[in-house]
Amino acid sequence: MEEHKLAIFEGKRIRKTIHNNEWWFSIIDVVEVLTDSSIPKRYWSDL
């Protein structure tokens, strides 16, 4: 059974889901929170 939730980090939302008893987080959301980037997809592609 999969479960989808939002995590709150410094007031910003990070999408997450649990699969096989492991939490998986949206890397784009994490990049946005950690870099304060307004275009995290672009930041991620530049990495």
The token duo for 32 is 């946005």
The predicted pLDDT at position 25 comes to 92
pLDDT for res 2:
56
pLDDT in tens, 13-34: 889 999 999 999 999 999 888 8
pLDDT of 35 strictly over 70: yes
The C-alpha atoms of residue 14 and residue 6 are separated, in whole angstroms, by 6
Domain total in the chain: 1
pLDDT of 42 over the 80 cut: yes
Paired with 23 in beta bridges are 18
pLDDT of 1 over the 70 cut: no
| Domain residue limits at 8 | 3-46
